[in-house]
């Protein structure tokens, strides 16, 4: 099975699961007014507070279709700048902060294929749980001759050729 088949298969599962689980999710996220709510507030259920006001401050993310379109757009970009990560930006030493031609900043996590798959599956799980404010995640393969990586010296990042790298949209906290 090649990468495009895996992505299509995963997206089909995601779409079907979203359809099936949507009713389940809505059933358990409605505000409780029954006996499980405390006498203090109908918004405290099992010791957890979450009001409509608090929810209005959570940034809305991309829809499923917007995620797919944006991923395709980003995969067609080229890396302009890459810098080794620091603990405040993108974590471990083998990771890098990259800037794509369109100005998008992404954390490139070089962690091995199984951890990379875990990052992507975690992103898809967040979509299944209707957590659409999670940064976009997708996989690329290190290849110095590809359009995506040709402006970057992969060996300067201490990376090897033909390895899976997870790209996660970088959202600065400043």
The CA-CA-CA angle for residues 51, 57, 60, to 5°, reads: 110
Q: What is the pLDDT of residues 55-109, one digit of tens each?
A: 777 778 888 889 889 989 998 899 998 888 877 788 888 899 999 999 999 999 9
What pLDDT is stored for residue 168 in this prediction? 92
DSSP structure string for 40-70: S-TTEETTEE--HHHHHTSPP---HHHHHHH
Instruction: Note the pLDDT of residue 63.
Output: 86
pLDDT digits 0-9 by tens, 7-20: 666 766 666 565 55
Residue 132 burial (10 A CB sphere; 0-12, 13-18, 19+): middle
Contact between 161 and 146 (Cβ < 8 Å): no
Residue 21 has pLDDT above 80, yes or no: no
How far is the C-alpha of 125 from the C-alpha of 109, rounded, in Å?
A: 19
Per-chain mean pLDDT for the chain: 79
């Amino acid at each position: 099975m090649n990468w495009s088949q895996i992505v299509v298969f995963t997206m089909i599962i995601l779409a079907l699961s979203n359809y099936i689980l949507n009713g389940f999710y809505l059933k358990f996220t409605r505000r409780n007014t029954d006996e499980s709510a405390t006498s203090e507030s109908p918004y405290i259920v099992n010791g957890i507070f979450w009001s409509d006001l608090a929810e209005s401050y959570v940034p809305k993310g991309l829809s499923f279709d917007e995620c797919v379109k944006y991923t395709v757009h980003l995969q067609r970009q080229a890396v302009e700048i890459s810098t080794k990560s620091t603990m405040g930006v993108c974590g471990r030493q083998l990771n890098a902060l990259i800037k794509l031609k369109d100005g998008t900043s992404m954390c490139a996590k070089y962690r091995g294929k199984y951890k990379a798959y875990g990052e992507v599956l975690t992103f898809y799980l967040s979509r299944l749980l209707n957590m659409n404010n999670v940064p976009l995640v997708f996989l690329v393969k290190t290849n110095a001759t590809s359009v995506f990586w040709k402006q970057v010296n992969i060996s300067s990042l201490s990376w090897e050729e033909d390895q899976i790298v997870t790209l996660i949209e970088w959202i600065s906290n400043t």
